[in-house]
Amino acid sequence: MNIMIDTNYLTPYNLASFFSRMLIFIGAWFFMPSVLSAQVASPGAQETLSIKESDYYEIISIPIPDGIELEVGGLALTPDGSLGVATRRGEVWLVENPYMEGTRIPRFVRFASGLHEPLGLAYHSGSFYTSQRSELTKLTDRNGDRKADVYETVVSWPLSGNYHEYSYGPLFTPEGDMLVTLNLGWIGHGSSMAKWRGWMMKVTPDGKMIPIASGMRSPSGFGYNAQGDVFYGENQGDWVGSGRITHVEPGDFVGNPEGLVWSHLEESPVKLRPEDIPDTGMPMSKVAADIPGFKTPAVWLPHGLLGISTSDILVDKSDGDFGPFSGQLFVGDQGLSKIARVSLEKVNGVYQGAAFPFIEGFSSGILRMVWGNDGSMFVGMTSRGWNSTGPAPFGLQRLVWTGKTPFEIKTIKAKPDGFELEFTLPVDAALAKTLDTYKLSSFNYKYHHNYGSPVIELEDLTVRGAVVSPDGLKVRLVVDGLKEGYIHEVNASGIISKDGMPLLHAVGYYTLNQLPAGEKLELPTASAASVDTHVGHQQKPASSTIVTGSMQVTATASGSQQKRVTTMPAAWSKGPDYTFSIGTKPGLKYDVELLEVKTGSKVKITFNNDDDMLHNLVVVKPTTAIKVGEEALKMGLEGSQKNYIPASEDVLFHTNILSPETSESIYFQAPTVPGDYTYVCTFPGHAYVMQGILRVVR
Ligand SMILES: [Cu+2]
């Protein structure tokens, strides 16, 4: 890192700001924690300013009575102010007074029961509507006793019986129709074993079902943007390199070809056939360019950074009651118990935009978000089947803006020669015009039948100019090397506000589908000084492009063993002393949770990933599993390339990240010091629960 600054700007105030900037810069390069500390210069005194997400948005837990397993599948507000909650246990609850006004505790009334894993809820014209696994159901309370007395099937659809055939929705259209999405089944890969699995469907009030779009894998959340266009969220998996949101229009194919087995049917608006989709591992944008009707994501949510399992989409219609992000989208994440924020724009008729961290620290895995009638957001959670960083098995919380404006990058917009960053508060102009304040890179993911993707084609970009608007709210960056169809990381961690505040989150990820036409910025002479500061900036050569592939084996602290040995050492003429085979079981668990070996013995462990998501197996020193897991989470864009193996002495031996239905064997000599060593999965979010003990005894 090489930071230069035009000394003309080094007033005493700015000098202090500059050093505070350095602190932040060093502490928060790739991963932005939710708490930042900064030294703020004030006349005659040095004050430590600590900013955290909770200064701006408060997470309030809604108490759930004992005995109610509120595994939230759907949320919907009713006109009387109650919150309807559908649960995966098959119930619909009415939560009265969910705002906990006064000292009153919310009251839970069971409205409906006996449903089959409802994963959506809507309230429309006096009735609730929910998607059960096999049907869209209308629930009506005719006699006003707060209990549904009529359960009506609006339409039903076939199931193969596979556990992964979740059904989501409905989302009402302005015309009164309903949109639902149907998850693919899972048989070691996604599969459409029943009609219209992997599709978005429209259901008319009289129960006619019309296919809208295909290519979905696990479309658990969908909603409108401010313009009333429909977006859906996708989860990393086969053909899906990372989480993302995609604009859906009738006739679209959005990426996973399994559902195309039904496109030959007359009523299909999608004409592509499975064999039209090449399996090359090229970036999705490059493949889609040659295939009419193939819609690429509006915004990617980089895996492990902005989430690991995209869930609901909610547009900010609060008109300022929820803070400065009116018109933007909030996108939930189940595995990391957090919410990202998305600013969209349309360029050449195509949606694109930037995703930012927004808030984390919810109690369980976020599946649903809905607005309360006071501009606060209800967040419904469940983590059964998929662990989440929020440790509770389920939960219901409310997110309330405190009224304070967080200092954030509000939007990023594409320009013909760079980006325009808009901030929520005026920036310190001297820092904002300094080129080394910014770090930009571009990258992509593989589009292929495999599960997920490492980050590919990661490349640093050169910032040539930074021009601050007179009001200090915008910075226009001139950047070399922008690439259509790629994700651009924009890190502005050097920026501070005019009042000396660091950014609450300093990074955004812009998906550049289209480079806009228009005037390029003539860098004014005044900013030549900034340009000059760029001399000596150590731009990495083109060879910094990181090629995907396996982690290099590295020596352990002792230097005597390598951490990943996948062929039996030649010296083991009699073979291993111990041979273990470990698989997985539901709920993010290894199917063997205790191994016992003698000190110094020869051990072979085969890890079979028979699960439906990515895992690894990492042997670590006693009591360090969570620490290593959290270090893996902080690896940023490098994580996926390095198999989420942090460079840590606590890591003793490991496999690589394994796709579903693959396996890897590792060979090592057991530690010479007895103890309970841990084997842990360091894939983001898994380390908290996916652990076993390697007991080493004399
Ligand atoms: Cu795992």
- In this prediction, residue 1 carries a pLDDT of 32
Q: Please tell me whether residues 84 and 212 are part of one structural domain.
A: yes
Q: Please tell me whether residues 220 and 353 are part of one structural domain.
A: yes
Place of tokens 């640093």: 460
CA of 622 to the centre of ligand 1 (A): 19
- In this prediction, residue 160 carries a pLDDT of 97
Total domain count, the chain: 3
CA of 630 to the centre of ligand 1 (A): 13
Q: Please tell me whether residues 395 and 420 are part of one structural domain.
A: no
Q: Please tell me whether residues 648 and 516 are part of one structural domain.
A: no
- In this prediction, residue 558 carries a pLDDT of 43
- In this prediction, residue 560 carries a pLDDT of 57
CA of 615 to the centre of ligand 1 (A): 4
Structure tokens at 519: 């005037």
Q: Please tell me whether residues 426 and 277 are part of one structural domain.
A: no
CA of 560 to the centre of ligand 1 (A): 28
Q: Please tell me whether residues 506 and 415 are part of one structural domain.
A: yes
CA of 388 to the centre of ligand 1 (A): 11
Dist CA 180 CA 171 (whole Å): 7
Kindly report the CATH number assigned to the domain that includes residue 41: 2.60.40.1220
Kindly report the CATH number assigned to the domain that includes residue 237: 2.120.10.30
Asked if residue 329 belongs to a domain, the reply is: yes
CA of 233 to the centre of ligand 1 (A): 22
Run of H or E including 83: strand 83-87
Which value, in Å, is the radius of gyration of the alpha carbons in the chain?
Answer: 26
Q: Please tell me whether residues 236 and 293 are part of one structural domain.
A: yes
Output b/e per residue, 37-62; b: 16+ Cβ within 10 A: bbbbbeeeeeeeeebebeebbebeeb
CA of 309 to the centre of ligand 1 (A): 13
Run of H or E including 528: helix 528-533
Q: Please tell me whether residues 80 and 117 are part of one structural domain.
A: yes
Structure tokens at 95: 């939560």
Residue type, 365: G
| Torsion angle (degrees, nearest 10) of CA 125, 128, 129, 130 | 160
CA of 692 to the centre of ligand 1 (A): 12
Angle at 309 between CA 304 and CA 315, to 5 degrees: 105
Q: Please tell me whether residues 50 and 69 are part of one structural domain.
A: no
Asked if residue 227 belongs to a domain, the reply is: yes
CA of 658 to the centre of ligand 1 (A): 9
- In this prediction, residue 49 carries a pLDDT of 61
Distance (Å) of CA 387 to CA 391, 589, 690, 695 = 8, 10, 9, 25
CA of 53 to the centre of ligand 1 (A): 28
Asked if residue 560 belongs to a domain, the reply is: no
Asked if residue 356 belongs to a domain, the reply is: yes
Asked if residue 553 belongs to a domain, the reply is: no
Burial (Cβ within 10 Å: 0-12, 13-18, ≥19) of residue 144: exposed
- In this prediction, residue 44 carries a pLDDT of 36
CA of 384 to the centre of ligand 1 (A): 15
Q: Please tell me whether residues 383 and 442 are part of one structural domain.
A: no
Asked if residue 573 belongs to a domain, the reply is: no
Asked if residue 554 belongs to a domain, the reply is: no
Where among 337, 370, 401 does a domain terminate? Answer: 401
Where among 355, 382, 401 does a domain terminate? Answer: 401
pLDDT along the chain (698 residues), means of 10: 33 37 34 39 45 96 97 97 97 96 89 98 98 98 97 98 97 98 95 98 98 98 98 96 97 98 98 97 97 97 94 96 97 96 98 98 97 96 88 97 97 97 97 95 96 92 96 97 97 94 96 94 57 37 33 41 93 96 90 96 96 93 96 87 94 95 96 97 90 96
Where among 544, 566, 598 does a domain terminate? Answer: 544
Q: Please tell me whether residues 51 and 120 are part of one structural domain.
A: no
Asked if residue 656 belongs to a domain, the reply is: yes
CA of 439 to the centre of ligand 1 (A): 31
CA of 638 to the centre of ligand 1 (A): 17
Domain that holds residue 161: 62-401
Kindly report the CATH number assigned to the domain that includes residue 588: 2.60.40.420
CA of 663 to the centre of ligand 1 (A): 13
User: What is the reported pTM?
Assistant: 0.84
Q: Please tell me whether residues 152 and 257 are part of one structural domain.
A: yes
CA of 599 to the centre of ligand 1 (A): 27
- In this prediction, residue 524 carries a pLDDT of 63
CA of 424 to the centre of ligand 1 (A): 37
